[in-house]
Structure 1
Amino acid sequence: MEDLSVPKDNNYDNTFLELSTVRTNAIDLIYDNINIDLEPLSETEIIEAIGKLNTGKATDEFGISTEHLKTARSILSPIFTSIFNQIIATKQIPLFFKTGITNPVLKKLKDPTLVESYRGITVTPTITKLFEYVLLPRLTKNFIQADMQFGFTEGLSMLIAAFLVTECKSESKHVTIKPLYMIAVDSQTAFDVVSHIILLDKLYECGIHPKLWSIVKYLYTDMSSKIKWKGEISDKFPIQQGECDNIWSPFLSPILKVYINNVLNAVSSNKNKWNQT
């Protein structure tokens, strides 16, 4: 798990990565020297976010669960409102916000004696999840999702995507009598190798508020995790790439939302040209 958190893909487009690094560094410098007001979080937003937290989940490493927040929401909401607004104003993210406990889970039908047979599921602090739920509506406000996005989208599912594929196959066979070419990409493991730099670059293109961009940057700086195995917990190690299994994954994931959005728009805009080939 520690090895997986370190970038090492020798076949990666380093030129693109370097360009993204230069741009995000420039963006960070500019944002640090400007002061653009962001409407403070309201207590109502905190209460609504607490209500959206899923129950029945494991407690975090501090022994806090969603049920604790829901039970005491009337008491905790004004406290969290003050704390979260202070975090946004100062852009100072508590270190415990960026930690987690990773549990190795055996993949289906895989050999339990092999390291690569396991996928890490990270339990992040409950308060961090609340913070993310509160900011998520503001982060997605200006994001225009491609029509071909189906994953993690309200009102849509991968079954709909599968149905469209079935219809395309049927039309190709019985109507157009043209060869149909399909490419399937197993993107599940891409969660583990997300480049944080490119992620920030893509978020800038989405036009999110400068303060929110900075908050995401600092959340992805100095991330760490520990491994829990057979009741024992390891020393922490840095997370230099990949998602930390948090609520932002559906929005920030390069394969499901931000990263792939431009690709899907390009496919849609060129579909007429491809239909002629």
Structure 2
Amino acid sequence: MDALSRLPVWLRDPRYTGSNRCLPCTIVNLVIAAALALVVATVSIGWAIATFAAAAVTIGVRGYLVPGTPTLTKRYLPDRVLARFDKGPERGGVASGGAAANGAADHGIVADDGEPFDPATALVEAGVLLEDPAVDDFVLEERFHDAWRREARTLADANADEEVLADFLEVDDPESVALVDRGRAYAAYIEDEPAGRWESRQAFLADLAAAAVLDDRWDGWSELSTARRSELLGSLRLFIETCPTCDGTVTLDTTVVESCCRTYDVLAATCDACGARLFEADVDPAALERAAEA
């Protein structure tokens, strides 16, 4: 969708550009480019400007200037510095990356209208989640679960993702909506402007299928803002049991993922059959251990 994505594959490097661009690595390379330009400036100002311009274009297209930058950045920059600039995995979804406050705790989320919003409480009040004393946890209401699974399979087979998203976002022209599979992300655009991101097409299908079912079963669903609906849909994916495209079993577990120059502990829901990631959120391992002990 952007100008970079239109460049030939052999020229650009999608591993380190676009949604995969690493800000710490980019900054390090720009500093190196500036230092190189200063050295050249001792001979010629014109050549120095040309050198920096060429280096900046290279960084923009390739993601780095010096080969091995991700390894060097990970090795020599303190994690607190990387954490300041880099971003960990986020829960994907519609609008602004998916939620009113991506990466926030599920309880006490501040929504787009500034009011605290608890997705779990909202879903319980809507009859979508039920407390099961047998497992001492929330579970999906059986009829909702069955309807969600059927709708997800229907959407997967229809292969009309753009039209479905246009309807969800109430976009008049479906042709202005585009979805791009970037491998580690399923990104949505409206007239070339970012409109959302999911961990995979399977996560996208799960969200839009749940939205369709909730619209039929929850009288107040259509009155919620897009941000709140997106947060609710993302929370629901914590309870998904079956992959929308292959019917494989979805397992929820903690794992470690690696970005360009950092590693993260994440809570992830993954299909055992096809490997699709349906949910991923940055977590605090210590908090998980305390919760398990409790």
Q: TM-score, normalised by structure 1?
A: 0.24
| Structure ranking higher in helix proportion | 1
| Structure ranking higher in strand proportion | 2
